[in-house]
Amino acid sequence: MVELRNHVPLSICVNSVRTCWDSHDKGGCYSEPTDDINEADKNLLKRVILKHKHASTAEHLVYNFKIFDVSRALLQELARHRMASPSVKSTRYTLKELKNEEPFTTYTDINEQEYTKDGRERAEKYIVMTSDERVNRMSILALDNLRDLLKAGICNDIAKYSLPESFKSEISLTINARSLQNLLTLRTSKAALWEIRNLANDMFNVLPDSHKFLFIDSVKKI
């Protein structure tokens, strides 16, 4: 799940672009920051940012997203987008909830470890499930092993080395429009990891409608 928590209004970017040519007299005069810009200023942003690719001016637009329930595998993908500022839920301080869980697995008659129906349902709170149940099984077993380490008194900083890649996290992500265009171009592609592809599309969808014209060409339709 993705929420847009805050963003810089379009008028700030308009003012920054018009500063380059000292052309403030040719556009709107906004008494306070707003997304409600006139058509001349919207066309200015289209021409400068989208047509002529003066992309540095797009850096004046900044967005803050809150991202929930994504895997650590996705975190690694997202880390490649360096012109962004992620703040990630800490495993050092947030594993105690898992420590207090009942086991997710049990042992069968042939002494094989297997997850229960209830265990699987509770595990979904902690791990991202995939379309392959074999992968989900291994993630649940890893989750139970991590729980055992925590119950045995292993400190979080050491126990977290056994975290499965599917372990869920939360992110507060601040990113400017130039970097967001790049992220959407790469991550809405069918070649992208399915989870980050879903994330990229969700990020586009929660943008203000008045901003989407800057990003619509970056979104790949599959």
Q: How far apart are CA 168 and CA 173, in angstroms?
A: 16
pLDDT tens-digit profile of 100-118? 899 998 876 555 677 788 9
Number of neighbours of residue 189 by Cβ within 10 angstroms = 13
The pLDDT value recorded for residue 222 is 60
The pLDDT value recorded for residue 220 is 85
The pLDDT value recorded for residue 29 is 81
The pLDDT value recorded for residue 20 is 86
In angstroms, how far is the first alpha carbon of the chain from the final one? 20
The pLDDT value recorded for residue 74 is 96
The pLDDT value recorded for residue 110 is 53
Domain boundaries, the chain: 2-88+171-218, 91-162
CB of 103 within 8 A of CB of 222? no
Of the two residues 106 and 199, the one the predictor is more confident about is: 199
Q: What is the mean pLDDT of residues 137-145?
A: 93
Of the two residues 97 and 33, the one the predictor is more confident about is: 33
Q: What is the mean pLDDT of residues 18-42?
A: 88
72 is known as an active-site residue: no
Q: Which of 72, 147, 178, 187 is catalytic?
A: 187
The pLDDT value recorded for residue 108 is 65
- For tokens 């595998």, what's the residue? 73
Residue 14: what residue type? V
SS3 (DSSP) at 128: coil
Q: Which of 151, 165, 10, 179 shows the shortest CA–CA distance to 74?
A: 165
- What CATH number is given for 2-88+171-218 in this structure? 3.30.1360.170
The pLDDT value recorded for residue 182 is 96
The pLDDT value recorded for residue 93 is 84
The pLDDT value recorded for residue 94 is 83
Q: How far apart are CA 164 and CA 140, in angstroms?
A: 9
pLDDT tens-digit profile of 32-90? 999 999 999 999 999 999 999 899 999 999 999 999 999 999 999 999 998 899 999 99
List, in order, residues 6 or more apart from 211 with CB less than 8 Å away: 7, 10, 35, 61, 177
